[in-house]
């Protein structure tokens, strides 16, 4: 991490009050009263992002990523702790913070459908005090970069999801902010468009040392490919924070195998967890087959797994040893895959 800091949070926490249906009996008259439930979205989050860094927040839906971005962009007050952006306190110095940030969210439908791409972008530039001639010049240049120049005079309501997201991305970069927040910027984009957007973000950060991007994603590849450092976040807590390389190296001493086997029930899969040398097991069922992701202490532990499979009359269809990925780091830290965590999550974070 590089000094000076662009973003810093200290013991940051956020609790939401949810008006639920939980009811309790009141006084002797047994009046039923609605009791708000509390949901902890962030807990004791300590993050330091240096100027010029492309920092990733990786976690499943509902992990607290969006909540953290909302606090840092002055849209939400923290319940506990403090946060600073470009050296300014996000709760006490909101005007200063707002002058040096911008935000792009995946799947957003901001702007007005009746306006053209160029008009929408110009309108937003005015809210940042950009002189019109300069704003128009920058709009032309950036539309060229994201190859949207030929749609500059198209009404934004006529754009596809991908093209609309490109317009949103230009909106975020247009003001050339010191700190840019990108909340799932490639959400809904096809593979090619996502790759181009990632390349563009990387170039933008690399061209100036004082530019910082905080990007949230639940795509492992995106975090791995793009970010200088990554914080893995789950249930409102930061579980690990390091470069993707270092995070993966933490698993280097372990052996990671992917096995494709004939159908296996959940209990059968759980039985592997207790075998000696088996650190983590993730079980998926796909197309009438079972997939086992195994994190083992060493390769020798694989023998025990194979024996167990044989004793259960399970056939091994494919076996592959592979290098650790951020997904494996997540499994190691959380105990479940991101997909499994998201399957159990109720709402976004």
Partner 1 sequence: MDPKMAADQAVVTPHAHPPRRDTGWRLFVRTVVGRAYPRVIAQQRERSWMFFEIFLPLVAVSAYVLVYRAIGAPEDYVGFVVVGGAMTAFWMNVLWTMSSQLYWEKESGNLALYIMSPANLMAVLLGMAAGGWLATSLRALVIILVGSLLFQVRYTVDSFGLLLAVFGLSMVALYGLGMMTASLFLLLSREAWHLANLAQEPVFFISGFYFPIRSFNFWIALSASLIPLTLGLDAMRQLVFASGPSLGFLSVPVEAAILAGLCVVFLTGARLMLAHMEKLAIREGRLTEARR
State which of residues 5, 7, 83, 103 lies at the interface with partner 1 (CB under 8 A).
Answer: 103
Instruction: Quickly count: other Cβ atoms within 10 Å of residue 343's Cβ.
Output: 11
Q: Which stretch binds partner 1 (CB under 8 A): 22-30, 94-102, 278-286, 315-323?
A: 94-102
Q: What are phi and psi of 20, to 5 degrees?
A: -95, -170
Instruction: Check residue 193 for interaction with partner 1 (CB under 8 A).
Output: yes
**Contact flags string 115-134 toward partner 1, x per CB under 8 A:** x---x--xxxxxxxxxx--x
Residue 207 contacts partner 1 per CB under 8 A: yes
Which region, judged by CB under 8 A, interacts with partner 1, from 102-110, 234-242, 260-268, 316-324? Answer: 102-110
Q: Which of 200, 219 has the CB closer to partner 1? A: 200
208 binds partner 1 (CB under 8 A): yes
How would DSSP label each residue in 8-56? EEEEEEEEEEE--S-EEE-STT--EEE--EEEEEEEEEEEEEETT-EEE
x/- string (CB under 8 A) for partner 1, residues 150-169? -----x----------x---
Instruction: Return d(Cα 128, Cα 116) in angstroms, integer.
Output: 19
Find the part of the chain contacting partner 1 (CB under 8 A) among 68-76, 222-230, 307-315, 324-332: 68-76
Compare residues 47 and 193 and give the one whose CB is closer to partner 1.
193
Q: Which of 291, 282, 283, 289 is nearest to 259 (CA)?
A: 291
Q: Which residue has the tokens 């962030």?
A: 42
Neighbours of 21 (CB within 10 A): 8
We find the least distance from the C-beta atom of residue 98 to partner 1, in angstroms, to be 5
Is 107 a binder of partner 1 (CB under 8 A)? yes
Buried-exposed string 129-145: b where 16+ CB fall within 10 A, e elsewhere: ebeeeebeebbeebbeb
How many residues touch partner 1 under the rule CB under 8 A: the total is 57
- Taking the C-alpha atoms of residue 285 and residue 260, their distance in angstroms, rounded to an integer, is 10
Q: Is 85 helix (H, G, I), strand (E, B) or coil?
A: strand
Which of the stretches 201-209, 282-290, 310-318, 322-330 binds partner 1 when contact is defined by CB under 8 A?
Answer: 201-209
275 binds partner 1 (CB under 8 A): no
Residues 240-269 that bind partner 1 (CB under 8 A): none
Site string for partner 1, 23-52 (x = CB under 8 A): ------------------------------
How far is residue 209's CA from residue 54's CA, in Å, rounded to a whole number?
11
Gap between the Cα atoms of 161 and 130, Å rounded? 27
Token representation of residue 207 = 């061209």
Q: In a 10 Å sphere around its CB, with 0-12 CB exposed, 13-18 middle and 19+ buried, how is residue 98 labelled?
A: middle
Out of 9, 43, 105, 212, the residue judged to bind partner 1 by CB under 8 A? 105
Question: Given the rule CB under 8 A, which residues bind partner 1?
Answer: 16-17, 67, 70, 73-77, 95, 98-99, 101, 103, 105, 107-112, 114-115, 119, 122-131, 134, 138, 141-142, 144-147, 155, 166, 173, 176, 192-193, 195-196, 199-200, 203-204, 207-208, 348
């Amino acid at each position: 991490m590089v000094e000076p800091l662009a973003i810093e949070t200290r013991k940051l926490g956020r609790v939401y009050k949810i008006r639920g249906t939980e009811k309790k009996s009141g006084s002797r008259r047994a009046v039923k009263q609605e009791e708000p439930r509390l949901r902890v979205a962030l807990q004791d989050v300590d993050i330091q992002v240096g100027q010029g860094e492309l920092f990733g927040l990786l976690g499943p839906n509902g992990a607290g990523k969006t909540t953290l971005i909302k606090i840092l962009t002055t849209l939400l007050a923290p319940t506990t702790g403090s946060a600073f952006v470009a050296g300014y306190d996000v709760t006490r110095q909101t005007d200063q913070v707002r002058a040096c940030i911008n935000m792009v969210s995946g799947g957003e439908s901001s702007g007005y459908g009746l306006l053209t791409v160029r008009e929408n972008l110009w309108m937003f530039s005015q809210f940042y005090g950009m002189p019109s001639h300069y704003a128009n010049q920058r709009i032309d240049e950036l539309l060229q970069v994201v190859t949207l120049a030929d749609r500059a005079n198209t009404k934004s309501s006529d754009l596809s999801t991908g093209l609309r997201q490109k317009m949103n991305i230009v909106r975020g970069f247009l003001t050339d902010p010191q700190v840019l927040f990108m909340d799932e910027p490639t959400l809904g984009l096809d593979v090619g468009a996502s790759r181009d957007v990632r390349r563009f973000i990387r170039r933008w950060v690399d061209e100036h040392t004082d530019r910082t991007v905080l990007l949230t994603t639940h795509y492992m590849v995106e975090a791995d490919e793009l970010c200088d450092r990554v914080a893995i976040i789950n249930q409102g807590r930061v579980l690990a924070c390091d470069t993707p390389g270092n995070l993966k190296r933490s698993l280097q001493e372990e052996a990671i195998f992917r096995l494709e086997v004939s159908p296996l029930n959940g209990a059968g899969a759980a039985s592997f967890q207790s075998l000696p040398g088996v650190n983590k097991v993730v079980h998926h069922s796909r197309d009438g087959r079972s997939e086992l992701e195994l994190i083992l202490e060493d390769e020798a532990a694989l023998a025990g797994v194979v024996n167990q499979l044989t004793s259960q009359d399970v056939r091994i269809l494919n076996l592959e040893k592979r290098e650790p990925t951020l997904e494996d780091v997540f499994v190691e830290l959380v105990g479940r895959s991101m997909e499994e965590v998201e399957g159990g999550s109720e709402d976004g974070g």
